[in-house]
Structure 1
């Protein structure tokens, strides 16, 4: 008499322990990647801020040279065609929060009665990755 032995087929899935180990590894990798990702987002916003400030400052200088007087507001730059629109501050998400710095006295024309804009800063109260406030950093013409 021939006995047929049944061989148990090997289980095709993963054990609970194997799945838990994989989940722990993935969670650890993700936890390590998130701070780095957030820092890269902040660095990219800082780069946009530097570029916007450079553009605004260059346009203020060009306006002052062309008109022989400094602009009275940033909207003067748009009205005169130097900018299509004011850039959006990447940290406040608004084009209305730029902080304008005015000259102490008029520098170009004696006929100019009110001081004009000589510099601009971010209106954000946040702090950069280097520890400086965005409203006070980004020195003129870096």
Structure 2
């Protein structure tokens, strides 16, 4: 009677096929994760800047803190930066005239570069 099971050659061939498939799939997976994070960062910056602009249009001054956008119902919550994983890492940019408020723009606090080679802090 012959024992049931796989031979060492069959297992090695199967492992080689799985390894080849993984060498093709894993780089694409990580590239798509990075692309998604970058897209989320762009969207978060757009939403924050849009809320700041609407706040200024309604009140004729900029907010003093980002939390003011939430308390005044311009945002439900401050978005989380996908790279720093914190809602407190946003870097506020003051307007040229400080008498109009404290935050006229916002930038990411992430120390990384985007796909196009620009720093996230410059977006």
- Whether TM-score is above 0.5 comes out as yes
1:11 shift after superposition: 6.8
Shift of 1:115: 4.1
User: How far 1:131 moved relative to its partner?
Assistant: 2.1
How many angstroms does 1:87 deviate by?
Answer: 0.7
Give the RMSD, CA atoms, in angstroms.
1.8
Correspondence for 1:109: none
Kept in 1, the 8 Å contact 2:44–2:79? The answer is yes
1:79 aligns with 2:71: yes
Counterpart position of 1:120: 106
Greater share of residues in helix = 2
2:62 touches 2:100 (CA, 8 Å); kept in 1? no
Instruction: Work out the CA distance in 2 between the residues paired with 1:42 and 1:118.
Output: 28
Taking the aligned partners of 1:36 and 1:14, their CA distance within structure 2 comes to: 32
Q: Post-superposition, which runs of at least 4 consecutive aligned residues in structure 1 deviate over 3 A?
A: 9-14
The aligned length equals 123
Segments of 5+ residues of structure 1 without an aligned counterpart are 1-8, 107-112, 138-142
In the TM superposition, residue 61 of structure 1 has moved relative to its aligned partner by 0.4
Pick aligned residue for 1:54 from 46, 53, 65: 46
TM-score scaled by length of structure 2: 0.88
CA distance in 2, matches of 1:133, 1:33: 28
